Amino acid sequence: MMRWGFALLVLANIGLLMWATWYREGIGESRQPNPVFHPEQMVPLSAPGVALRTRKNERTEPSLVAAKPRPRCVSIGPFASAELADKAVLRLMEEKQIATRRSEERKLESSYWVYLAPFTSRKQAEQRLKELERLGIRDVLIMQDADGNPAISLGLFTQADNAQKRLQELAEKGVQAQQDIRYRTESLAWFDLRLPEPADAALERLRAVDWGAPGVEVRDEPCAPGPG
């Protein structure tokens, strides 16, 4: 009987200790009431206007796809003839480069006309021509100016310096002549490339190419909107 009484006493003490521990842990705690489930208020996801929302504590994972590097755009030119441009195409093929060919118009001075004008009639121009011949001025003739009026031509030159010398000679003899610059339009070819980065090595090779034409350059250009 003594043993059974001792065992019951030990069990009672253990139970008292467990109850006291659980009671202390529950003091001061506040529990949120369980949410009330209302099935009649649920809306199917397929209903119009229903959209899923991301919880505030959910993080959006960063994209694992690396950003595509921007290309480096360059232009090669100018090439003043179709023959030179065709040779440039072959050199670009040797460098395994794909380029877009474009044309550019350039206005160039072509000749310099020294003349006297205006005259109201051809008879007036002929009279002035005789005066010039008496001054020892040669290589003169009557022709029309750009407006179709009579004019006295005193020389047509391809070099601007020669035209200036002629004007100076006439001025020394008291003749104040005029100069008209005539222009021509030249069509130039350029090649535009979009080099993927890193492009330093490819750009260095292109600049080392002998393009067979004077004044050709390989220069950086802003990239126009487009793919890649």
Which among 45, 72, 78 has a CA at the least distance from the CA of 211? 78
Residue type, 14: I
Give the right CATH number for 72-107+186-220 from 2.10.220, 1.10.10, 3.30.70, 3.40.1710: 3.30.70
Report the pLDDT averaged over residues 69-76: 88
> Is 217 in a helix, a strand, or coil?
strand
R_g of the chain, CA atoms, integer Å: 48
Of 27-31, 123-127, 188-192, the range with the lowest mean pLDDT is: 27-31
The H or E element that residue 192 is part of is strand 178-195
Residue type, 2: M
Per-residue model confidence (pLDDT) at position 22 = 53
Spatial contact of 154 and 166, defined as CB atoms under 8 Å apart? yes
Per-residue model confidence (pLDDT) at position 83 = 94
Of 58-62, 142-146, 166-170, 212-216, the range with the lowest mean pLDDT is: 58-62
Q: Residue 89's CB: how many other CB atoms inside 10 A?
A: 14
CATH fold group of domain 109-184: Alpha-Beta Plaits (3.30.70)
Which among 187, 214, 193, 188 has a CA at the least distance from the CA of 76? 193
The whole-chain average pLDDT of the chain stands at 82
What would the pLDDT profile of 8-19 be if each residue is shown by its tens digit?
665 666 666 665
Q: Which two tokens stand for residue 189?
A: 């070819």
Per-residue model confidence (pLDDT) at position 34 = 60
Q: Does residue 207 register a pLDDT over 80?
A: yes
39 or 186, higher pLDDT: 186
Split at pLDDT 50, 70, 90, the class of 31 is low
CATH 3.30.70.1070 domain span(s) along the chain? 109-184
Q: Does residue 107 register a pLDDT over 90?
A: yes
